[in-house]
Amino acid sequence: MTKNKTNLEDIVSLAKRRGFIYQGSEVYGGISGFYDFGPFGVSLKRNITNLWWRMFVDGRDDVFGIDAAIIMNPKVWKASGHVDTFTDPLVECNNCNSRFRADKIDISKCPNCSKLGTFGKAKMFNMMFKTNVGPIDSEDSIAYLRPETAQGIFTNYKNIVDTIYPDMPFGVAQIGKAFRNEISPRDFIFRVRELEQMEIEYFVHPDDWEKSFEKWRADIYEWFRALGLDEARIHELDVPESDRAHYSKRTIDFEYDFPIGKEELMGLAYRTDFDLLNIQKATGKSMEYIQKGSNNKFVPHVIEPSFGVERVMMAVLAEAYTEDEINGEKRIFLKLPTELAPVKFCVSPLLKNKPELVKKAREIYTILQKKYHNVMWDDNGNIGKRYRRQDEIGTPKCVVIDFDTLTDGTVTVRDRDTTKQKRLAVKDL
């Protein structure tokens, strides 16, 4: 295992200090398993989801995007098996009343009060959040917040086939919120109750599932590379049958050496025809695909790469977090790939109280802003402080406007990773 050099506390503290991630409802004392994203966090998250969409949807001609509603007909979750089996084993300590997931702890001893033998038999706890739709609070009005985005894709499979006429194989992709009432949310944004997923259901001829599975397995590494993750920290776990989800005939968990240890980053599952057959059974509508130019009909099988945005963010932050020493002083910076960096350029006048410098700096800021969009204006504190702040945000280049700029049109460009400074003409930025 390539142990991650980063401590979780360092990431949590930087994320808070620099406006990436805050505890949800913090002023009210927080709420366990929910987080809010600040200005740079939302930007990093968007850069991640945009990169994913570009790579897997816009960058291919065999994957189509959708955006389905979060609340769906509750029949969906009955047919999918979630009402009956989307459960985790819950145990409660009869000494301190703390609750735990039985499969995640040693149940001979309570992790909270350390008392031995206080747990009774595990109860199966359904993780779906329930709500009521409409003004009447009754059994008939119960609906669920979706625990995965996948079902929004399966329910639209027929719509896509009938309106887009895709060739087989083809995929349908979605990015969106999912909700899981986790028994013990933990480890910052690693296990949360409100999460965002990026999922693709890739529909294939039943004979071709292995070929597609292997192709996706390779494509996933391209994604890891784009995120800047060190491949030595990624491990594949071929999940044994006893641990696989109820719908899966083969699953590979891609684990990453997080600061909390080796844990699941994302999954690739062969879901067979489980979901489409369930829909067919529950609705009486055919989910068959008619092979173009023939009378060949079949219910497609499905390969599902499933990505969790929060876990990607946590891996990216852990990978990027770097400490070094500059002139005997400790420095922290985020070595983010430029594509993911929330701010691409920071522009500042050397001195805040010189109107001619501020005016020139504003002009340059506007030029860069039009071109690169994520450009930040920063004139707080002295230059050293600004560099330190931008290093922690992960800004690749800081541009400083000084008196020479006014005479020769050049600016200082300082590089985040090397801290080296260069003078460049504005037009060459």
Q: Which is nearer to ligand ATP, 126 or 348 (CB)?
A: 126
Min CB(184)–ligand ATP separation in Å: 10
In the complex with ligand ATP, which residue's Cβ is closer, 259 or 267? Answer: 267
130 CB contacts (<8 Å, ≥6 apart)? 142, 143, 144
Cβ neighbours of residue 86 under 8 Å, at least 6 residues apart? 77, 126, 127, 128, 147
Residue 149: CB minimum distance to ligand ATP, A: 9
Stretch of residues binding ligand ATP (CB under 6 A), selected from 12-20, 226-234, 303-311, 395-403? 303-311
Distance CA 114, CA 81 (A): 36
Alpha carbon distance 125, 110 (integer Å): 19
Which CB, 202 or 387, lies closer to ligand ATP?
Answer: 202
* Residue 254: partners with Cβ closer than 8 Å, 6 or more residues away: 220, 224, 234, 235, 236, 237, 264, 265, 266, 267, 268
CB of residue 86 to ligand ATP, shortest distance in Å: 9
Q: Are strands 142-144 and 289-290 parallel, antiparallel or unpaired?
A: unpaired
Using CB under 6 A, which of the segments 67-75, 159-167, 302-310, 340-348 binds ligand ATP? 302-310
Contact criterion met (CB below 8 Å) for 392 and 332:
yes
Query: Can you give the C-alpha Rg of the chain in angstroms?
Result: 25
Report if residue 302 touches ligand ATP, rule: CB under 6 A.
no
x/- string (CB under 6 A) for ligand ATP, residues 346-365? --------------------
Q: Give min distance, CB of 266 to ligand ATP, in A.
A: 4
Location of structure tokens 């369930």: 278
Site string for ligand ATP, 260-279 (x = CB under 6 A): ----x-xx------------
Compute how many other C-beta atoms are within 10 angstroms of the C-beta atom of residue 296: 12
Nearest residue to ligand ATP, scored by beta-carbon proximity: 308
**Closest approach of ligand ATP to the CB of residue 259, in Å:** 15
Q: Which is nearer to ligand ATP, 101 or 331 (CB)?
A: 101
Question: What residues contact residue 23 under an 8 Å CB cut-off, 6+ apart?
Answer: 30, 35, 36
> Whole-number minimum distance, CB 188 to ligand ATP, in Å?
10
Q: With respect to ligand ATP, which residue has the nearer C-beta, 41 or 166?
A: 41
Question: 134, exposed or middle or buried, with CB in 10 Å at 0-12, 13-18, 19+?
Answer: exposed
* 288 C-beta neighbours (distance < 10 Å), count: 15
In the complex with ligand ATP, which residue's Cβ is closer, 195 or 346? 195
Site size toward ligand ATP, by CB under 6 A: 13
Q: Cβ closer to ligand ATP: 64 or 258? A: 258
Fill in the per-residue mask, 179 to 218: x = in contact with ligand ATP (CB under 6 A), - = not in contact: -x-x--------xx--x-x---------------------
The CA distance from 159 to 137, in Å, is 32
CA distances from 326 to 1, 363, 417, 419 (A): 30, 31, 11, 9
**Residue whose CB is less far from ligand ATP, 45 or 414:** 45
User: Residues interacting with ligand ATP, by CB under 6 A?
Assistant: 180, 182, 191-192, 195, 197, 264, 266-267, 306, 308, 310-311
